[in-house]
Structure 1
């Protein structure tokens, strides 16, 4: 397995390439988050916090990949929080390259509500065994032990994965509203 790390600019470039003609009004300064508008039929503003998802050696099971949550400007010892202050959809996105070719990677769309606030360099995990079905099914949805729902796809199916993430997030929001639950 490879643990190739891409620059933030490279991650943004791959994400935009995979969204293709649906990306509009892109604001990319090479920092987190990448801001853009998804054109029709999506019609939504996006703030995408895109991270490398790597499998560094030592201390972990061999198939465990992780995203290290560090925001631009966040200092060691400071708590981080994803900016949800303006209207739009906030995404936590991991890009894993578990095979030789870094450009044949896998997108992992994490559940924002499970990670709203976090310690500096906190980890969120995904396993190779969770990513592999996306090679066969294009988009794979799985639930982690903490009940977090992951949406995983090959690069060419990112738009399909985004639709799935939006639908899952809407269903969760409606269920909370129905039960009078506010927050996480």
Structure 2
């Protein structure tokens, strides 16, 4: 990492959570710090505190990951009111307009920012389970982008498998006949999960699955 290591990065996990975890309404600053801590030595330079406050977060990375990725990290939640009992979800709220400008709140459609050819990663973090869930950003950019607060979900069995085995992936059928493969992982397997997420997205594109 960079020459200056922030104190929050090296705190023991219990102390980090006590100091930085909000009582509710998990902030981008907290989610991004959790992300950077999970990626560890794969992060090539920790962003300044001001950058950590804003979504998305661009990180410079080391091999085996791409040199840069753009992370859209949301709090993953679980609601019994979902159609499939126990489903985990995030709400996509941040994106750009078709011409690449930040989408205003009133924009009906938005896309993930791909400026400078930096790949977007759609990710949820469940604070209570200490687990990351990675959706396919390429798929959710199809057919005119996504709405102002799109609900993206994962079946609970993918999460339970990751909690039991540290990493898992599985598929979910979407409206229109598309199939999305979702990856979930504990923090110490996140680098592996990101590599798998990228490989699965590339395979789906190359094979014309969407």
Q: TM-score range by the shorter chain?
A: 0.7 to 0.9
Larger CA deviation: 38-47 vs 68-77 = 68-77
Partners of 1:133 and 1:41 in 2: how far apart? Answer: 24
Which residue matches 1:78? 108
| SS of corresponding position for 1:144 | strand
Larger CA deviation: 72-81 vs 138-147 = 72-81
Q: What does residue range 135-174 of structure 1 map to in structure 2 within 5 Å?
A: 135-146=163-174, 147-174=179-206
Higher relative contact order (CA 8 A, sep 6+): 1
Rg (Cα) greater in structure: 2
| SS of corresponding position for 1:136 | helix
Give the structure-1-normalised TM-score.
0.82
| SS of corresponding position for 1:143 | strand
Partners of 1:127 and 1:18 in 2: how far apart? Answer: 23
Residues 138, 57 of structure 1: alpha-carbon distance in 2 compared, 3 angstrom cutoff: closer
Which residue matches 2:139? 114
| SS of corresponding position for 2:44 | strand
Contact kept in structure 2, 1:5 and 1:54, CA below 8 Å: no
Which protein is richer in strand relative to its size?
1
Query: Structure 2: any 5+ residue segments left out of the alignment?
Result: 1-23, 96-102
Q: CA deviation at 1:12?
A: 0.3
Query: Which string of whole-angstrom CA distances, capped at 9 and with x for unpartnered residues, describes residues 42-67 of structure 1?
Result: 24211000011112454554402221
Q: CA RMSD in A?
A: 2.2
Structure 1: 4+ residue segments shifted above 6 A: none
Which residue matches 2:8? none
Aligned residues: 170
Larger CA deviation: 18-27 vs 107-116 = 18-27
Query: Structure 1: any 5+ residue segments left out of the alignment?
Result: none
